[in-house]
Structure 1
Amino acid sequence: MLYRLPSVGQSDAVTVSAPVAVIGPPDPAAAFTAALDQAGLASIRYDEFPVDLSGYSAVIVVAGRYPEPERLDVAGLAEYVRAGGSAYVEFALDDTGFLPQGEIRTAHIERIFTTVALAGIEPLQILDEHSSQAQQVVVRGKAVELCSYGTVAGTHEAIFGPPDVTFPALLDIPVGDGRLLYATTALSHHVKGRYKPVRRWRRLLQVIVGQLTGVQLAEDIEVFTEPRVWVATGEPVKLVVRSSTKPVAELDLVETKPGRFESDLQYLDDGEHTFAVGDQHVTVAVGPRAERYRRMVDRAIAWYDRAGMFYDAPDGSKGVAEGLSNEIDAEGKLPFRPVPRGDCFTQTAHAFRMYADLADFPRGRTIADNLMRLVVEEEQLTDRNQLYGSFEPRGARTDLTGTNNLFADDNGWISLFALMSGHVESGLRGVEALIRTSSADLGLQVDPWRTPSTLLVKGWDELSRSPIEDGLDLTSHWQSSAQCAYLYAYGLTGDQGYLDIATRGLDHMAGQHPRARLETSRTCEAGRFLLPLVGAYHYTRKPQYLETMRSLAGYLKSRQGPDGGFAEWDGKCPPSNEAYGVDEAAIFAANGDPVTDQLYGTPFAAWALPLAYRITGEPVFEELAHGVLDYLSRIQIDDPDDEQLDGTWQRAFDFDSWEYFGSNADLGWGPYCVETGWSVAPSIIGAMLYLTGDNFFPPAPSSLSELPASIRAEFDAIAAGQPAPATFTRRDDGRVIRIQNGVQAVLGDLTAAGEPVWARNEPVGADEIYVRGTDGHLHHTYLDDRVGQGRWQQLGDLELADEPVVAFNPGANAIEVYVLGADGHIHHCSMIDVRGGHTPWEPVGTLHFTGSPAVLYDEELGSVRLVANDTAGQDRRTRKVNRWHLPWQDYSHWITA
């Protein structure tokens, strides 16, 4: 039953002559004055309560200090309501007991949903807010709960019904002869806070106005074109209206199904065209695809700068941010997510390299080169163990304890783009690391979210023999990037081994198709599976790959909406209200939700489909490529006033309500997040592949077969435990680099003032490295034969005046470290065989010296000997006995002997 004002009949219209008083600051008040205007009602806004409320047809009090509650003096308002007036108040404190009160808390995963039928809003309809502040009040007396907070699964509707635990969001409370509508949160905040879906939030405020005044609400008529926003030259468009009755329009409209009216197909000239339906207007642009796609690319490239994605340096030399997190704050902003992800670096680098050529934009190549340099120099793991060749996907490598999970999909993309950028050796090491962590039988990745400890404990041989669990062998989400890297490596080198492992895995996956493990959804899997199939068909012309691509095309076509996007289907969706918001999940709730995924699905389909058409020549791939690229161009955010989002895409787009909106159940990447890689970069890579005619994969295998053999030999030597002595040196920029078997690695972000020195610590199987930093202190790290490089640690606060000297003392199983301090004394510490255990600095005698001593181990005496020149120019010598140093002796007369 429709919930209405009790004193107003089901079809009665009420005429309201007195204005409505709206109390509160202009911005939140504007949300309600818009609803009042829509209802044809006059309103007067006040900052504070007027002295007399009796001349107003209703009173609306908005939360002016949200997310903080405001304490109100409501004595006059209480008197007005008890005398028969109607008032709405939201999120306020009251000392008199007139307003409901409760504990103020953050609604972390609870969402607002309707509990009764309202005018134009059915029960159980979801109104998404974003971690709103709310009062957890208890319903008392004859109050009616119109909207509730609760943990509900669903996109537009609570598909499993109301949850067991709820608390009120909007109450209708009889008070004396009047009524009070009380919202436990700031419903007026929906505009500033970007609450979704927008049309439903607007309607809710209109419903509140209708309940307060008794005015019958006008029907919410929706007018749009199909396709929306833009249509390619020569292609048709139609006008669509959603309305319960046939509207008045300049085009003849026919009801095609209940509540939906359509015009005939219109073929329009290039330019903008506007259609009127009653007092509503809708505009559609018509123009060439190439121009539209180029505009899309230009705007997305500009977004990186406008949104500040190149933090600290606009040339990319400090990296690119991961993007924007999902959690919209009280100001309507998305949190900046500065995580330096290698996959985002490399995907962005390739997009900017392509754009440099497309737009004659030299800065694009500079950005690309800088981003790739950071990944290759800072993120590839080159310690000689089972992590060798992999890429640390979340920033510069540190020691083993700081190494993130070595995700197979991230490493696949990084390796692929390293090859494409000209860093062939680094890319092939990444490819070989993926091969060594793949199944020997299937050629597919084992444990693709692998931890470093798993790799070190199991080793390459055991891992390759491990069964692939959970059907992971059939998920392109985890497998496709590695397969693309193998195929590109084959095209670059001509090495048959790369093609063999790629096709072995693809044969297995294609043979099982359409069975697949769904990491996010079947739609995303289809888009991700296409790219490696395109590459494999390019090199082999195997019919099975073409048939599988045709099948994927048929599936995508069956899920395609009227504007070209592919609806999510068969996903990892919460199976109950209790499962909502507790794990990673898809951004739709049930099959049929008109939601597309711009993180894991749409961009990869846009990337692969132009290539599929170019490689096969089959029209279905061209049609689908046009559809998905058209769609991306239509849903690209176009708001010049919004520096965060103008020119980009968020993850979930609802193509029926035509806004960014979806099920917010995913713990990590909800519907409103933005990724520089994965989303923006792949989207414009796809558009530029279309514009340039680039085949992406090398046209024919080259002959660089000696290099793959050399790379494999490096891995074989590590597997065999063969040693490789390391040397260390200071780079021009002050960073310390390690060179081991010809492979360089930058050691952390320490800036050195001098050259590093090192000594072999055989009892623990490591090299100990020391260097004077630009801060004047001594710093230490290590290279362990098994766990690899350590982090730099400062050794005390001693200020150095010269470079350190070190020697291994086998008599004590210790590294002896000597430096000249700023005080002119020589100081000493020892590193015992417990990792990181340096003794405190202590002076060696009281003499002053001009430089650090020379140090050697005297095997005959079994002790460390030191030689140094004091400030008088005399030659002084001493040696270490046990943990003590003997007094300095004068050997200056030996100089002429």
Structure 2
Amino acid sequence: MNRILFCCTADNDLLRALTTDDHRPLRYEEPAAALDAAAAGDTVLVLADGYPERRTAFPAELITVAAERQVSVLVEYPAELPGLDAEPETATLERLVITDPRLGPELGLLAVHACRYLPTRQPDTLLWLARVAGFDTAVYGLPETAWSALYRLPDAPVLVATTQLSRFGRGRYEPQSAWIALWQGILRVLQPTVEPPAMIIPGAVSPRFGRDDVLPADAAAAAVTAYQDWLRRAGLLLDQDQERAVRELMITGEAVQRDRLPAGTGDGSHGVAEGFESTIQPDGSQRIRLPLRADCIAETAMVLALDDRGSDGPRTARNLIDYLRGPSGLCGGERSDPARPSYGLIGWGVGTPAWEIANYGDDNARVILAWLLADATLAVPDGHRELISAITANFRTTGRTGFRGDRIDQPQLAEHGWQHYFDGSLINPSAHFEAYLWACYQWAYAATGYRPFLDRTRTALITMMERFPGGWRRNDVTELARILLPLAWQLRVEPSDRFRGWLSDVIDALLSRQDASGGIGEVEAGGIDLFQVARSNEEYGTTEEPIIFATGDPASDQLYSSGFALLGLYEAAGVLDDHRVTDAADRLADYLIRIQLRSDRPELDGSWFRSFDFRRWAYWGSSGDAGWGAWCLELGWAPAWGVTALALRDRGSTLWDELAKVRPDPAEAQDVINSMIPVTVGTE
């Protein structure tokens, strides 16, 4: 009987995966001892105990010993073999690419994240490490810059892995099913006549429920509280020392290991860090993204304000809003000076000039809506003047057509003045950048009666929908999800059959992408200058791009799409007498509940990764986005709005109903508007 002998520590992931109550593989401390114990036909696996700091000792003379004893060998991350003279490097965007059919599909992809590897190119290579475009297949083939990840030594029964392939558990390699197939394939290469044993990989993370599990009656409430608890446990709420460190570290980079920040726990008074980057380190950790972003701060406050368990959530929410308004600086400087054209706007983030100069309309919109909901939930009696100022500041940089554009930076606004934009005729058919500002204007019209809020929003929505379905900058799921909110709210402020029909058309388009699992699959719809798939291997990872490569790749996007779709569907259900919409929203809600992260790692448990493959039922996707890849965890954005939609559904309410509780003083609101847009300025 051919055996597999191990030379590794007892906690090696592969050893544990092949160990059962009925079978405990032989394990040795030294390669020579394992080879000495092996018989002809056996396999010795010399695994990288010292990885990533120390390479594996495997003297070249042991190759001869293995050949003489007719023993096959796999050695990981070796120190002394010919052709491995270069120093180890760290992978960034590279993935494993299969070129041997025994290991998996031709040009199939696997993630080893930020692995350390030995750069070499060998002729008999079974598995490559390369920067390639594609969802689960290297669609443009193997580039010339690929490195051997697993190769066979010439004239010897030895396979060499240039990284630690056996670290699939601790390193959180994905997808798990493909890693099982890969290792069974490697064992077949080593022992061609033996069927490899079954393997179980205990992952560090998993979906909270299976695809077909019956959900508990309280599953939605549990998902909401799990996310609220994650916000507290993840280590992203900053105290004073941590905020100071974040501002200092931002000068040299936007992501750091957790130990670069002082120990401590914040209460919202010093903001929150942005989240965790997508890249997974060899120890399974993810670096903290540092920027102090207005949207992340406000949307975190919104979710914590909804925590009605008697916790410190509401107090932390209030602290976050107060931090946003004051000490953060996001509303300070020129943005707090009524004489400046940027008065009332909210900065993108703080830490470096690149963050501080930007005024994104969508970021402002989500801050405003989240701030409104936090105030409504906490029954805050004041602060409404600031919100009216923020809405008016965005409105007076919105053109006659109702479009504002992606962003207006401080220097351009100072140069041109706000009226240049207010009198403009820009057309920017992008719901991602424009739609939630329209929702702000609809709320503001209902709250103040200021007619131009409604008129310009109506004009913009008509322009958008007359161009539907093929005339938007992007025609993808995110765009469909984002425009649902203002279309639904238009029926609140100005009901009409025309807009009711348009809302139904968008819902039809969105639900055509809904999988039986409840998830909404992304589509690759082309587009102009943003969120394009890579057109070559070299382009992969150089800009923001989707988590899929082509329509039909079975992935949903939890950062940009799913939560916004859930919110929009429930808001639409509030104005449409259509059970189909409610049923679809409920299926999407159940899907998000199922795929919420479960993990022993507190910085992961209770949140959502950006990408989920609903065919594999695993966290997988194309991770070429520059900054927000498949495994990123972002405070705010779609996860926060999805949780909010779940919480409001359980309360039998909608976002519109909740925001109606915020009642600014009409006279004060009109004074703010008149001071920022004098009545002498035309609005038509």
Partner Cα distance (1:506, 1:382) in 2 = 31
Structure 2 residue aligned with 1:151, among 131, 134, 147? 131
Give the residue type in structure 2 aligned to 1:130. Answer: H
The answer as to 2:484 corresponding to 1:530 is yes
**1:34 paired to 2:48:** no
* 1:386–1:456 CA contact under 8 A, matched in 2: yes
The 5 A counterparts of 1:655-674 are 655-674=614-633
1:122 to 2:100 alignment? no
After TM superposition, give the deviation of residue 718 of structure 1 in Å: 13
How many angstroms apart in 2 are the aligned matches of 1:303 and 1:434? Answer: 32
Provide the rounded CA distance (Å) in 2 between the counterparts of 1:589 and 1:412: 30
> What are the within-5 Å matches in structure 2 for residues 694-733 of structure 1?
694-697=653-656, 698=659, 704-716=665-677
CA distance in 2, matches of 1:662, 1:80: 43
Of 596, 617, 620, the residue aligned with 2:580 is 620
Cα pair distance change 1:78/1:401, threshold 3 Å: closer
Pair 1:570–1:20, CA change in 2 (3 A): closer
SS in 1 for 2:336: coil
**Greater RCO (Cα-Cα under 8 Å, separation 6 or more):** 2
RMSD (CA atoms)? 2.8
CA distance in 2, matches of 1:466, 1:146: 59
Q: Is the 8 A contact 1:385 1:718 kept in 2?
A: no
Bigger share in helix: 2
**Structure 1 residue 101: Cα displacement:** 4.2
Structure 1 residue 163 displacement after superposition:
2.2
- Candidates 66, 76, 79, aligned match of 1:93: 79
- Residues 662-693 of structure 1 show CA distances to partners (whole Å, capped at 9, x for unaligned) of 10110010011111211432121010121112
In the TM superposition, what is the alpha-carbon distance from 1:221 to its structure 2 partner? 11
Distance 1:35 1:339, change over 3 A: same
Counterpart check, 1:509 vs 2:464: yes
Matched, 1:372 2:321: yes
**Structure 2 counterpart of 1:439, from 385, 399, 413:** 399
The yes-or-no answer on 1:108 pairing with 2:92 is: yes
Counterpart CA distance in 1 for 2:675 and 2:354 is: 24
Q: Any idea what the Cα deviations from partners look like across 1:10-35, whole Å, max 9, x if unmatched? A: xxxxx42xx3221122333x314524
Change in 2 beyond 3 A, CA 1:354/1:615: farther
Q: Specify the SS of the correspondent of 1:325.
A: strand
Residue deviations 1:511-557 (CA, integer Å, cap 9, x gap)? 221135355x6011111110111111111112222212211221222
Distance 2:320 2:270 in 1: 8
Shift of residue 450 of structure 1?
Answer: 2.1
Query: Which deviates the most, 316-325 or 73-82?
Result: 73-82
Partners in 1 of 2:51 and 2:231 — Cα distance? 31
Query: Which among 579, 598, 617 is matched to residue 539 of structure 2?
Result: 579
CA distance in 2, matches of 1:111, 1:105: 14
Residues 634-663 of structure 1: CA deviation (Å, up to 9, x unaligned): 001122x21111111111111111111110
Cα 1:319–1:100, aligned 2, differ >3 Å: closer, same or farther? closer
| 1:181 shift after superposition | 0.5
- Greater displacement, 700-709 / 669-678: 700-709
Give the 3-state SS of the residue equivalent to 2:673 in structure 1.
Answer: helix
Q: Aligned to 2:542, what secondary structure does the other structure show? A: coil
Q: Which amino acid aligns with 2:185?
A: V
Indicate whether 1:217 and 2:199 are aligned: no
SS of 2:286's partner is: coil
Who is 2:261 aligned against? none
Alignment partner, residue 547 of structure 1: 501
Q: CA deviation at 1:582?
A: 0.9
- Alignment partner of 1:650 is 2:609: yes
Q: CA deviation at 1:220?
A: 8.1
Residue 119 of structure 2: aligned partner: 136
Shift of 1:710: 1.3
- Which residues of 2 match residues 280-679 of structure 1 at below 5 A? 284-288=213-217, 291-312=218-239, 313-356=265-308, 359=309, 361=310, 363-377=312-326, 378-380=329-331, 381-383=335-337, 384-395=339-350, 403-420=356-373, 421=375, 422=380, 423-440=383-400, 442-446=401-405, 448-466=406-424, 468=426, 473-518=428-473, 522-571=476-525, 572-639=532-599, 641-679=600-638
Q: 1: CA distance between counterparts of 2:664 and 2:46?
A: 75
Q: Which amino acid aligns with 1:187?
A: L
The two structures have a TM-score, normalised by structure 2, of 0.85
How far is the alpha carbon of 1:173 from its aligned partner?
2.4
Report the alpha carbon displacement of residue 336 of structure 1 after superposing the two structures with TM: 1.9
Name the SS for the 1:326 alignment partner.
strand
Aligned partners of 1:354 and 1:509: how far apart in 2?
33
Which region of structure 1 is more displaced relative to structure 2, 384-393 or 212-221?
212-221
CA distance, structure 2, for counterparts of residue 608 and residue 433 of structure 1: 25
1:462/1:24 CA distance change after superposition, 3 Å: same
User: Shift of residue 473 of structure 1?
Assistant: 1.9
Alpha-carbon distance in structure 1 between the residues aligned to 2:96 and 2:578? 48
Match of 1:685 in 2: 644
1:403 is matched by which residue type in structure 2?
A: E
Q: What TM-score do the two structures reach when normalised by structure 1?
A: 0.66
Structure 1 position 395, deviation (Å): 3.6
Does the Cα contact within 8 Å between 2:274 and 2:289 map onto a contact in 1? yes
1:192 maps to 2:146: no
- Tell me the distance in 2 between the aligned counterparts of 1:33 and 1:432: 61
Task: Note closer, same or farther for the CA distance 1:386–1:147 as it changes in structure 2 (3 Å cut).
Answer: same
C-alpha separation between the residues in 2 aligned to 1:651 and 1:459?
38
Cα deviations across residues 741-790 of structure 1 (Å, max 9, x unaligned)?
xxxxxxxxxxxxxxxxxxxxxxxxxxxxxxxxxxxxxxxxxxxxxxxxxx
Are the aligned partners of 1:437 and 1:445 in contact in 2 as well (CA < 8 Å)? yes
Q: Distance in 2 between matches of 1:505 and 1:650?
A: 33
Distance 2:17 2:455 in 1: 64
Supply the AA of the counterpart residue of 2:330: E
**Does the residue aligned with 1:627 lie in a helix, a strand or coil?**
helix
Q: Partners in 2 of 1:403 and 1:153 — Cα distance?
A: 33
* Preserved CA contact (<8 Å) 2:542 2:626: yes
Q: How far is the alpha carbon of 1:159 from its aligned partner? A: 1.7
Shift of 1:369: 1.4
Alignment deviations for residues 566-605 of structure 1 (CA, whole Å, 9 cap, x no partner)? 0000252112222111111111111111111101100111
Q: Are residues 1:179 and 2:157 paired?
A: yes
Answer yes or no: is the 8 Å Cα contact 2:350–2:356 preserved in 1.
Answer: no
Q: Percent identity?
A: 27
- Judged with a 3 Å threshold, the aligned counterparts in structure 2 of structure 1 residues 514 and 486 are, in CA distance, closer, same or farther, namely same
Letter in 1 for 2:26: I
Listed as ranges, the gaps of 5+ residues in structure 2 are 201-206, 240-264, 526-531
Q: What amino acid does structure 1 have at the position aligned with 2:667?
A: E
Gaps of 5+ in 1: 1-14, 223-227, 232-236, 239-283, 721-897
What CA distance in whole angstroms lies between the structure 2 residues aligned with 1:574 and 1:104? 28
| Paired residue type of 1:299 | A
1:119-161 alpha-carbon deviations (Å, 9 max, x no partner): 5x1110001111221111132xxx5210112221111111222
Query: Structure 1 residue 449: deviation in Å?
Result: 2.3
Kept in 1: contact 2:208–2:597 (CA 8 A) = no
Counterpart code for 2:636: G
Distance in structure 2 (CA, Å) of the matches to 1:221 and 1:515: 47
Higher alpha-carbon Rg? 1
